[in-house]
Each structure stands twice: as C-alpha cells, then as structure tokens.
Amino acid sequence: MRTGLIFSGGGTTIRRMAELAREAELAGLDAVYLCEAWRSGFVGLAAIAMATEKVEIGPYILNAYGRSPWLTAMSAIDLDELSGGRLVLGIGTGNKHINEEWQGVPQEKPLTKMREYIHQLKAAVGTPLGERVDIDGDVHRMHWAPAVAPLRSSIPVFLAALFPKMTEVAGQVADGIALGALLSPDYLREIVLPRFRSAAQSAGRDPATLGVTLAPFVSVGGDPDAARQAARSAICHLYAPLPHPYYDYVLREQGFSRAADAAARYVPEGKIEKAMEAFTDDIVDTVTVCGTLAEGRRRLQSFEGLADLTLFVNVNYGGTSQEELQAAFTNLIELGRRQSRQPLQRRRSQRSSIHR
C-alpha cells in the first residue's frame, strides 16, 4: 500500500507546504495531495509540483459545483504538464452547506451531474490537437477544440463517494473511488468496496483496474493518550456548526449512533468536551489511525489489500503554534517513511554538520 500526505491548507503557507512535500518525497512517501477547502484546488499543487520530482499529486477533492468540466480540464492539462504527468484528479460534489451557503449554487441532480461531469472531463483531458469534444448532457455540455496538446492521453479521475448511489456512480464511470475519514477496515471490506466493485462489474468494467484511495484521520506521537485525544477532538469538530452529513452517516453505519447523537447534541451547544466523552478509545481506534508511531503502523497494516493509497490527514495539531504543526507533520512523514530512508532528525543533523 502506498502512502502520502494531504494538506488541508489551513495553518501554514503554500511555501511551507511545498517544503513539507519535498521532505515527504525524500522520506519515500508516494503522494502529496491538497484539499480544496481552506485553499484552492490547483494553486498550491502547482507549488508542490515545482518542489518535488516523483510524488503523485492531486486535489482531494475538487468541487464540481464550483467549476465546469471544461475549466477543470484546462487546469488539469496545465498542472499535468507542469508536474511531468504526476496528476490524479479527485472530483466530488462537496456538501450542501459549501455549495448553497458558501457559493450560492443549488446542489441539484448530483448523480446525473457527476456521471456527466466525469465523462466530459475524461474526454477533454485526453483530446489531442486537431480534434474536438462534442458532448450534450442533461446537466453539462461541451463543444470545444483544445489549443494545447495534453502531456498524456488520459489523466486518472477519482470520484469522492460513500453514500450508496454515488459509490455506484464511481464504479460505473470513474478511474477510482476517493474515500474520506472515519472508515474502519471492516466497513470498507464488507460494505463500501463490494458495492463499488459490483457497480463496476455491472457496467462491464474490471474492478481490478480501478483504484481506491483512503484519507483517514491520523494522530501519532510519543504520547498515545494525547494523540487519541486530538483524534477525538477532530471527530467532534465535524459536528460544528452542524453535523457533517457524510461523517454522521458513516459513524451511524458502523454502529456508533450513541456517540453521534452526543456529538450532534453537544457540539452545536459549544460543549465540545462533553461530546468527546462519548467517543471512547475503542471507537477512536476503530475509525482513526492514532497512538504511538508503532501503533499507527500496525493500524495502517489493517488497510492492506483494501486501499491502494492512504493519505494521512493531520489531526494532531491544536492550532497553537507553527512548531506544533511542524512536529505533527514530522510524525506523519515518519509514519510513512520507507525503512531504507534515514529519519528526518538524523538527516537534518548531517546536513547541518556539512555546512559548519
């Protein structure tokens, strides 16, 4: 299983994200992604592409209600060229709050939209010079001839999905499924992946050719209790100001309705610590990767054979200092480090001694 970092974009600069991406690459991690949340989906990735040479890069997840398939295709062609063909596109609907409150865009016909969106996007990023795209759909249409030759004949497109019907769309049209946090290995194995693969087979596709990317909450360090507390806090903050529909759904699906009820009740009232009491260690250990580095590595092993790429979502940061943020990312890089690579601290010491 490959591993990588994913940046939320909050708490640090684009320049520092690029530096951390370079450190992750040197440590042997396979990918560096950027959320389209606190940051835009493409600008930070351009900086990361310039700072690295080998790691896979991608947005996780581009909001399909915020841009047309044509605009996404043009941006993707440019970023794929800049990165030397390392781009993987993560696309999703976002949620109702983001679309209707932040953007003022009605969240309409999501299943039809994403099916058409991915179809047109994949067509556009692979259209060579001298040819054109002519597609009419119920939601999207594209009549366009590119003026720039794409670097590759195709760019992988992964669809963010978890609810049953969108998971089926991912299996039917996307190159893979992009999964979020709070998913246990058992839930993936027994519920999500069978649905995804069955939809692919029904559409005449080979599930073995499709990818699975997972983005769990990760909190690891020298103090396992503090690491679990940070993960517990991150889960509860998903209920502020209102319960996030995706995460509330997956917690209840996995049998944690009592904890979800507590979060839905207490977090909007500002009683975050009361909500955290409902998330016992067994729940936190089931739906996150947390504890010591050794515990984190064992937890990651439980996803072997289920996910092709696991992106570490940093939740071991309370937002109080850049030093804590750096320490948290250092722990994540160590978690994914290839055994043949030297630890960051040792490498930095050697580099310092050279320049004395």
The parts of the chain modelled with pLDDT lower than 50 are 340, 342, 344-356
Q: Would you list the domain boundaries of the chain?
A: 2-223+308-351, 224-302
**Phi, psi (rounded to 5 degrees) for 205:** -110, 155
The helix/strand/coil state of 244 is coil
Give 340's DSSP letter.
T
101-143 tens-digit pLDDT: 777 888 889 999 999 999 999 999 999 999 999 999 999 999 9
pLDDT attached to residue 319: 52
37-73 tens-digit pLDDT: 888 889 999 999 999 999 999 999 999 999 999 999 9
Cβ-contact 6, 30 below 8 angstroms: no
pTM of the model: 0.92
Nearest to 56 by CA among 156, 148, 154, 123: 156
pLDDT attached to residue 339: 57
pLDDT attached to residue 318: 52
Cβ-contact 178, 61 below 8 angstroms: yes
Q: Give dist(CA 165, CA 138) in Å, integer.
A: 18
pLDDT attached to residue 9: 78
Q: What is the CATH number of domain 2-223+308-351?
A: 3.20.20.30
pLDDT attached to residue 325: 84
